[in-house]
Amino acid sequence: MRKRSKVLVVDDSALMRKLIPKILEQDESIEVVGTAMDGYFGLKKIEELQPHVVTLDLEMPGLNGIDTLKEIMRRWQLPVIVVSSHSTNGAAVTLKALSLGAFDFVAKPHDVAGRMSEIGDELIAKIRAAAQSKTPHVQFLPDIAPNQLAGKQDPSAPTRIVAIGVSTGGPNALQYLFSQLPAEFAGSILVVQHMPDGFTDLFARRLDETCSIRVKEAQSGDLLTAGRVLICPGNRHMKVKRLPLGNIAVLNDEAPVNGHRPSVDVLFRSVAEEFGSQSIGLLMTGMGEDGASGLGAIRAAGGFTMAQTQESCVVFGMPKAAIERGYAMRVVSLQDLPNALAAQCTPGGRDSEGRKSAGAGGN
Amino acid sequence: MTNPPDDRMSELRNLFFESAAELVQRLNDQALQLEKSPGDGEVIRAMRRTVHTLKGDSAACSFRELSELAHEFEDVLSLEHTAAAESVPEIALRAADVFAALLAAYREHKKLPATAVLREEIAHLAHTASAPVQKRGKSKVVAARWSEYEQLAITRAVEDGRKLYHLVVQLDPHCAMPIAARQMLRTTLASLGEVLAAFPPDGHTGPMARVEFAVASGAPPAQIRSRCEIPTISAQVKVQRMRAVKISPEVAAAAQAAGPAPSDANEPAGPAESDASSSAAAANLSIGTAADNILRVDAERIDNVLNLVGELILAKSMLQQTLLEFSARFPKDALRGKFSDAMAFQARVLGDLQRSVMKIRMVPVDHLFRRFPRVVRDVGRQCGKDVRLVLKGESTDLDKGILDAIAEPLTHLVRNAIGHGIETTEERQRLKKNPQGTIQLNAYHQGNQVVIEVSDDGHGIDVDRVRDRALGQGIVTSDEAARMTEAETLNLIFRPGFSTAAEITELSGRGVGLDVVRSVLDRLKGSVQTETEPGRGTTFRLRLPLTLAIIKALLFQVERRLYAIPLNAVAEITRTSEEQIHQVEHFDVLQLRNEVLPLLRLGARSAPGSGSRDKIFVLVIKNGERKFGLVVQGLAGEEELVIKAIDDRQIETDLISGASILGDGRVVLILNLAALVDRFTSQRAGVSMNSTAGLLSGISAAHARGAAGDRA
């Protein structure tokens, strides 16, 4: 039995300082060693108590969450789980925290009380994952070389439909991946990133600003065009549909699958069904195994499947599940993913199976 | 994982209410601060954090209305231009009020108060402030009414030269099933042509007041309209010819891919940059350093400890009693010295313990004073008076129970001072006073009392007017009034039913007089004293005991029964005999040095002649301006008494305020000084009293036993 993971809770709300430890202590592998009411105390207590994982509220007086996070990253590189909230600012700050190296975040929905156990489970799972991440999870990515930001390409029919499933560690990994794809990327990308409602829109807009390819939070009826990324909004599922005039994304509010909404499996199965051999499935860093069976469906339908390597994952959960079941045709590091994807989607390019990729666009 | 069990939840709720009250107070403070320095970014950020925490906490406790409201407010505070709006302090104050009202309703499980006004104000602020953003062209792209695919379909239809119509159908507000209604309209339209687009989109399940369609049809518009006018479903139908549609670049390109496309596609604006925290200022490390070591403890637990300390003090008295008996029996025993040393040591530690525990219950009076800036501001505005508030001695400690109890009377006094004490700005100018009035709250320790003063620099109280009004309202008779000293007359304002203002204002009166002040102070064994100087202002001086739990008391006997009175009320003790007591106009008086001291008899007078030479004692009681003597039959020493509350059902007289048990098990009744003073006043004012029976003669032994018998 491994030692219990020591957790420090940093939150300016007295209530949360009581509630979070109560929730966490229901899990026997977690021990809350202390709480702190602001960043300044947080840092002092990290030094004193040497926790394995820190939960961090971003809105605090004194030393605020972002500055605290920077300091934690600089001095200890501890995994930090941001406990975030829904507000105009909440999403922006949370995304910033992720870009600064926070391990993951848990969003408090409006009806926290009603979904307390759900959020508790999520927090516990993320803390356990964070505690087990052996390598320093801060990824020193190669410098992002802005890819001819000037002039986004005109959309046209994509060569392939790329479905990406990603969870913990996703924001940074996607940021890297998309920044490296050229504006003339020939495929159309659909992303299910496990992220709550309210965060995905901002996330998509930030990616759009920093990447050459066009990124947008998906709306029902959005066209799947070349050089475009559609990110599934939080709390909805995304499927795809072939229609006479073009191919579109369709959102729905069906029940969560694998405990997730959006669920990677829902997207992957739909892509496999509609686009078969024209589809590419990519399963990236994340906890759990959402998307593993969907990747199998894409492979079975004749599509091409990839999973991210363990070394480049923040959490090697979802890709591992797919690899173990033999659903991943290639295992690629994050650094090599942009090239691998571009190669797969290049018109006339060949995939590793030697099939000629056919246009996936409309009729 | 399961939800925490109920008791945990209730513990959290208690914690929530406590911290939420603190947060609301903080919001009040910050709003006032912002009012003074409008647009101060630091204050706004602090305010946002306060609201943010309140939002999160209330959501965690399932208080949805509160968390949603806080959420809306927080969003307004998050945006630079809305947060800087002039109306923010005002809205923040209203928010603080509404939040407080919601909290009270949650706590007492009552119906929630209306929040619509606040909601509207917040919405209004959010709305008015969105305008400048759009000017900068940085606002969020308005969601396309038609989806990309629909835009594409419409574009294609236009290109193909088909006749297109845009239908807007207002649904009947009484329509029970809008989703079915929408489907029905769609089916109707499908029979007339091709439905290219629908809004809200398929699968939409939320509320909808109207639906829109884009239809390609060869049917005449009038026919389309009439077919859509379905009773109980559609209230109004508009049909318009469509010749083009705004399309996004994606659609333009997709359309181009298959043929010529309209080139007037408008570029969506870039997304708004809304990262407010990236430029977070350097952290201020000194803020809040003291607070982390604070432990929140349920007041009940402290009371339990205090109770046990009380019992210990009792045990100490018992031991002391035993030691006395032991010494009497074995005056030569060597153990006696050791015993008495140990006792002395124990007494010292016990004293320290008691003081420490008392300190736990003490909170700085600042907790109470903090609410007054808001009160003064609001009341000042209501009355159209410019008033500034000066706070002094905020760090003075006071028992939490007393603090809570005097909140209302103090508020009352402050409102009263602004409403009736301070003159209007014009009048002050005319009187060559500072046009801004001043209210001062001051707290300090004096002996084992705490004094809280409320002073204003207004026009003072007109003593003659008070007298006239008291006469007019039948509160005193002219005879009584003539006898009263100035101070006593002033104190009439605390009598029930007294009001000097011509009309009862909602503001300071609320139909309740200052008698509230008096009754609360009586209950707390405190007193109020008024000082006024015409043209210069008035000071109300509240004297309060440091604590309610333990008093130093003087014990005495009346009719062989043991009573106690707070020691600090006793100015001096004098020994005399019945012969020295004289009667003046039916009142007993005693010549004490150069003064004639009116007397109040607690027990029956000794039968004349039989023992008139017996020594009796007179306790000289000083209560504010009044001085009088209590005639008692014997003194029994001085003790620290742990007050046990007594049940109202067991003792009828208001003369007894509590009871205590001595070390030897004897019960002692504690006199209510305020009631005594009342008796004294009415006796002097001529109310007929049976002066031979004594005030306490009626209290039977049974009552007394019942009162203090339960010591568990």
**pLDDT tens-digit readout, B314-351:** 788 788 888 888 888 888 888 888 888 888 888 888 87
Q: Which architecture does CATH list for B6-135?
A: Up-down Bundle (1.20)
pLDDT of residue B128: 65
Q: For residue range B272-286, what is the model confidence (pLDDT) as tens digits?
A: 333 333 333 333 333
In chain B, which segments carry CATH 2.40.50.180? 550-709
Is there a contact between A252 and A332 (Cβ–Cβ < 8 Å)? no
**Residue numbers of A between 287 and 316 with CB closer than 8 Å to B:** none
Q: How far apart are CA A359 and CA B677, in angstroms?
A: 101
pLDDT score, position B8 = 60
Q: Is the CB of B8 less than 8 angstroms away from the CB of A22?
A: yes
Give the ipTM. 0.74
Q: Is a pLDDT exceeding 70 seen at residue B612? A: no
Minimum CA–CA partner of B55 in chain A: A110
Assess whether pLDDT exceeds 50 at residue B508.
no
Q: Under CATH, what is the fold of the domain A161-345?
A: Rossmann fold (3.40.50)
Reading the block at residue B193, the tokens are: 């042509």
- As a three-state string, the secondary structure of A140-206 is CCCCCCCCCCCCCCCCCCCCCEEEEEECCCHHHHHHHHHHHCCCCCCCEEEEEECCCCCCHHHHHHH
Active site positions of A, annotated: 167, 194, 290
What's the pLDDT score for residue B650? 58
Question: Which residues does chain A have within 8 Å of residue B202's beta carbon, measured at their own beta carbons?
Answer: 220
What confidence category does residue B201 fall into, taking pLDDT thresholds of 50, 70 and 90?
Answer: confident
Q: Does B29 lie at the interface with A, CB-CB under 8 angstroms? A: no
| Contacting B residues, span 163-202, partner chain A, CB-CB under 8 Å | 201-202
Nearest alpha carbon to residue A232 among A173, A143, A164: A164
Shortest Cα distance, chain A CAs vs residue B125, angstroms:
15
Decide if B203 touches A, using CB distance below 8 A.
yes
**How far, in Å, are B323, B520, B578 from residue B319 at the CA level?**
6, 37, 37
> Would you call A245 an interface residue with chain B, using a CB distance cutoff of 8 Å?
yes
Q: Is B15 on the interface with A (CB under 8 A)?
A: yes
Best residue of B2, B8, B275, B285 to probe chain A, by most A CBs closer than 10 Å: B275
From the list B4, B75, B296, which residue is nearest A22 (CB)? Answer: B4
Torsion of Cα atoms, B508 then B511 then B516 then B519, to 10°: 160
Region of poorest pLDDT, from B224-238, B364-378, B657-671: B657-671
pLDDT at B181: 80
Q: Is the pLDDT of residue B288 over 60?
A: no
H helix or E strand, kind and range, residue B595 = strand B595-601
Phi and psi at residue B122, to the nearest 5°: -65, -45
Size of interface A-B (CB pairs under 8 A): 197
Question: Which residues on chain B are in Cβ contact (under 8 Å) with A243?
Answer: 149
For residue B286, the model assigns a pLDDT of 31
pLDDT digits (tens, 9 = 90+) for B157-196: 888 888 888 888 888 777 777 777 888 888 888 888 888 8
Query: What's phi and psi for A2, nearest 5 deg?
Result: -75, 160
pLDDT of A178 reads: 92
Q: Kindly give the interhelix angle for A170-180 and A88-99, rounded to the nearest 10 degrees.
A: 70
The DSSP-derived string for B37-70 is STT-HHHHHHHHHHHHHHHHHHHHTT-HHHHHHH
Q: Are A96 and B277 spatial neighbours (Cβ–Cβ below 8 Å)?
A: yes
Our CA-based measurement puts residue A333 at a distance from the nearest CA of chain B, in whole angstroms, of 31
For CATH 3.30.70.1110, the residue range(s) in chain B are 148-258
Measured in angstroms, the CA of B51 and the nearest CA of chain A are apart by 11
Nearest by CB: B60 against A15, A58, A206: A15
Give the chain B residue whose CA is nearest to the CA of A12.
Answer: B53
User: Could you tell me the residue ranges of all domains in chain A?
Assistant: 5-132, 161-345
- Domain B148-258, CATH among 3.30.70.1110, 3.20.20.140, 3.30.420.40, 3.30.930.10: 3.30.70.1110
Tokens of B307: 């109770």
Question: How close A314 comes to chain B (CA, Å)?
Answer: 24
Please tell me which of the candidates B19, B74, B201 has its beta carbon nearest to residue A15: B19
B60: nearest CB among A112, A205, A223: A112
**Predicted TM-score of the model (pTM):** 0.53
Confidence of residue B135 (pLDDT cuts 50, 70, 90): very low
User: Mind telling me how many Å the CA of B122 is from chain A's nearest CA?
Assistant: 15
As assigned by CATH, the class of the B365-545 domain is alpha beta
Contact between chains at A117 and B274 (C-beta distance less than 8 A): no
A87 contacts B75? CB cut-off 8 A? yes
Q: Would you call A243 and B60 a contact, using CB atoms and an 8 Å cutoff?
A: no
The per-residue pLDDT for A285 is 92
The CATH architecture of the domain made up of A5-132 is: 3-Layer(aba) Sandwich (3.40)
Contact call for B296 and A14, based on CB within 8 A = yes
Element housing A59 (H / E): none
Q: Residue A32's beta-bridge partner residues?
A: A7
pLDDT in tens, B64-120: 888 888 888 888 887 777 777 778 888 888 888 889 888 888 888 888 888 888 888
Q: pLDDT tens for residues B675-712? A: 777 777 766 555 444 444 566 665 544 444 444 444 33
Domain B550-709: which topology?
OB fold (Dihydrolipoamide Acetyltransferase, E2P) (2.40.50)
Ordered per-residue pLDDT tens for chain A, 363 residues? 457 889 999 988 888 888 888 888 888 888 999 999 888 889 999 999 899 999 998 888 778 888 899 889 888 888 899 987 765 567 788 888 888 888 888 887 666 666 677 778 888 888 888 887 654 444 444 444 444 433 444 456 778 899 999 998 888 889 889 988 988 888 999 999 998 887 888 889 888 888 888 999 998 889 998 889 999 998 899 999 988 888 999 998 888 898 889 999 999 999 999 998 899 999 999 988 999 999 999 999 999 999 999 988 888 999 999 999 999 999 999 989 999 998 888 775 444 444 444 444 444
Task: Examine domains A5-132 and A161-345 and report if their fold is the same.
Answer: yes
Who among A63, A220, A225 is closest to B147 (CB)? A220
CATH 1.20.120.160 segments of chain B:
6-135
Write out chain B residues lying below 8 Å of A37, CB-based: 288, 291-292
Smallest CA–CA distance from A100 into chain B, residue: B278
Mutate to test the interface with B, among A188, A213, A214, A223 (most CBs of B within 10 A): A223
Taking all residues of chain B, what is their mean pLDDT, rounded to a whole number?
Answer: 75
Output DSSP code: residue B644: B
B250/A225 CB distance under 8 A: yes
Contact check, Cβ <8 Å, B59/A108: yes
Sign of CA dihedral A186, A192, A197, A202: negative
Q: Average pLDDT for residues B410-424, to the nearest whole number?
A: 86
